[in-house]
Amino acid sequence: MRDGKMLGVLFFSSLKLSAFTFGGGYVIIPLMRKTFVEKYHWLSENEMMDLTAIAQSAPGAIAVNAAILVGYRIAGVVGALITVLGTVLPPMVILSVISLFYEAFRSNLAVSMVMQGMAAGVVAVIFDVVLVMAQTLWQQRRAIWMVLLAVCFVASMLGVGAAPLVLACGCIGMVDTLRLRKERGKESK
């Protein structure tokens, strides 16, 4: 599966996603999902959700973490390297150019207005991610995940940081997975 053509598609898909994604790492996740789950069918919906959870939990930029995980899952170490290169190249080039003209950009009214408009788009894209992930959880028909989603939403609105929420959810997920494995082990005997 790791032929040159697939690696090229992986690189250019990552490059394109990164070049045209503004608003941070959370914005690139739904676009990765559309590309690698819906378009190429290289990942399942559940795999993408798992990789997203790991990318969010790991230290570092979520876009780079997600690129590493997606690339590795699709094409191993070479895939991880290819997707990271495709993901970091556009921001490096764009930020280098912007830094040369920072003073002109900073005071430009048109640039300021464009950035405000893009912020609204970013919110819409992040909302799309939440809806897709909630829909996937709902389809699993497991009340624990829907309750956890609601509790985390309320907690984050009340100012609880992401780290304690991720750690708590990780612990609950681990306990639930161990419980399910134990139940399946009893059923198979």
Residue type, 33: R
Q: 63-111 pLDDT, tens per residue?
A: 889 999 999 999 999 999 999 999 999 988 988 887 887 777 767 888 7
Per-residue pLDDT, 1: 47
Q: What is the mean pLDDT of the chain?
A: 85
- Taking CA atoms, 101 is separated from 24, 108, 112, 113, in Å, by 21, 11, 14, 17
Question: 15 pLDDT exceeds 50?
Answer: yes
- Please give the share of the chain, as a percent, with pLDDT higher than 90: 28
Q: 32-67 pLDDT, tens per residue?
A: 889 999 999 999 988 998 888 888 888 888 888 999
Per-residue pLDDT, 189: 61
Q: Is 0.85 topped by the overall pTM? A: no
Q: 158-188 pLDDT, tens per residue?
A: 999 888 888 898 899 889 888 888 888 777 6
